[in-house]
Amino acid sequence: MTTPPLAPYPATRLRRVRQADWTRRLVREAEVRPSDLIWSMIVHEGEGVIPVASMPGVERLSVKEAAKAAVRARDLGIPAIAIFPHIDGARKDAAGSIAADPDGVIPRAVKAMKDAAPEVGIMCDVALDPFTNHGHDGVVEGGKILNDPTIERLIEQGLMQAQAGADILAPSDMMDGRIGALRAALEGANFQDTLIMSYAAKYASAFYGPYRDAIGSAKLAGGQGDKKTYQMDPANTEEAIREVALDIAEGADMVMVKPGMPYLDILRRLVDEFRMPTYAFQVSGEYAMIKAAGMNGWIDEERAILESLTAFKRAGAAGIISYFAPWAAEKLG
Ligand SMILES: NCc1[nH]cc(CCC(=O)O)c1CC(=O)O
Ligand SMILES: [Mg+2]
């Protein structure tokens, strides 16, 4: 885009349009609405709610509470909820054997949430790490994360989630080829309408720390932070283009960039390049930073949250996955 020639000062005074709230609202380019939000939510296997220490204000919800939250999302105009499981450590193993258990907390939550609020889209994380005792997103052998055997497990998990009623499957594992395999499996099992949102450009980031605490994998091997053989190097942009190109070609309906704020340049690039519905995940560490600074009185928390969400929209996001979703929807609604 070329900028039209501007009359020199004083004919042009850019401050004129900023002089009052009404002028600012008239020229505003990006605005975040409740319909832009996907509520990121942790569910657990027990009863009641359990606070997450490193994410003040976020609680792990029981299935019953998750169903109530779905109703709340509907009433707030939030279109979708992304659920992630906290699994009892004693039930994890090296293979993540219970990842595709049709009686697990995720399928139970999906059913309860769809029963309570069928109008709300439910998105499931397709990944093994909440279920493995090493915290990695894949099958590990001799210290290596095996790509193709992992895909087989993800397919079982994804089909189970679709069977339970999940609307969107969101593989967050970063194995090569899993989008194509999952799409073929869904077609083969008559799930033509199940959406796939690919965590297409997911970086090996320090900003996932509180999440690993929330799902109970922080102290495990994978929780020490090294997922660098499958998640992307934070230094790379062109590689993100290749990742997203492949996932679109394999059948992704929507793509995601993760984390959010430190990667707004990637988000913009991908929107420009592919014109696909592109989402940003404002991850646990971003939540924790804003919250911690706010609680200390170091920043104005409410303004910082809304500014951060607006920044995603300005950068081109079709929507934002965020732990702030219910608070923000209430504020904006
Ligand atoms: N499959 C892993 C997964 N799915 C969602 C998140 C992070 C979410 C957040 O930080 O809020 C992670 C973390 C990781 O890769 O270790
Ligand atoms: Mg990929």
Place of tokens 């993760």: 258
Residue 225's pLDDT is 54
CB-neighbour burial class of residue 244 (10 A; exposed 0-12, middle 13-18, buried 19+): buried
- Determine the distance separating the centroid of ligand 2 and the alpha carbon of 156, expressed in angstroms: 19
Residues with a catalytic annotation lie at 202, 258
Tell me the domain boundaries of the chain: 32-332
ipTM of this predicted structure: 0.97
Is the confidence at residue 326, as pLDDT, over 80?
yes
**Contact residues of ligand 1, CB 6 A cut-off:** 125, 127, 129, 137, 172-173, 208, 211-212, 227, 283-284
> What does the pLDDT look like over 274-300, one tens digit per residue?
999 999 999 999 999 999 999 999 999
Q: What is the residue with the minimal CA distance to atom 7 of ligand 1?
A: 208
- Tell which atom from ligand 1 comes closest to the C-alpha of 282: 11
Percentage of the chain beyond pLDDT 70 is 98
How far is residue 111 from each of residues 103, 175, 310, measured CA to CA in Å? 11, 28, 32
Q: Which residues have a beta carbon within 5 Å of ligand 2, which is an ion?
A: 243
Please say whether the structural domain 32-332 has been given the CATH code 3.40.309.10.
no
- Tell which atom from ligand 1 comes closest to the C-alpha of 217: 16
Beta-ladder partners of 144: 141
Task: Give the span between the Cα atoms of 259 and 317, in whole angstroms.
Answer: 13
Looking at residue 3, what DSSP letter applies?
P
User: pTM, whole model, 2 decimals?
Assistant: 0.97
Q: Which helix (H) or strand (E) holds 239?
A: helix 238-249
- Determine the distance separating the centroid of ligand 2 and the alpha carbon of 174, expressed in angstroms: 5
Task: Give the span between the Cα atoms of 204 and 209, in whole angstroms.
Answer: 11
Please calculate the CA angle 51-259-104 and round it to the nearest 5 degrees: 50
* 97-106, 214-223, 246-255: range with lowest mean pLDDT: 214-223
Query: Tokens standing for 294?
Result: 């706010």
**Which ligand gives the minimal distance to the CA of 180?**
2
Tell whether residue 243 is among the known ligand binding residues.
yes
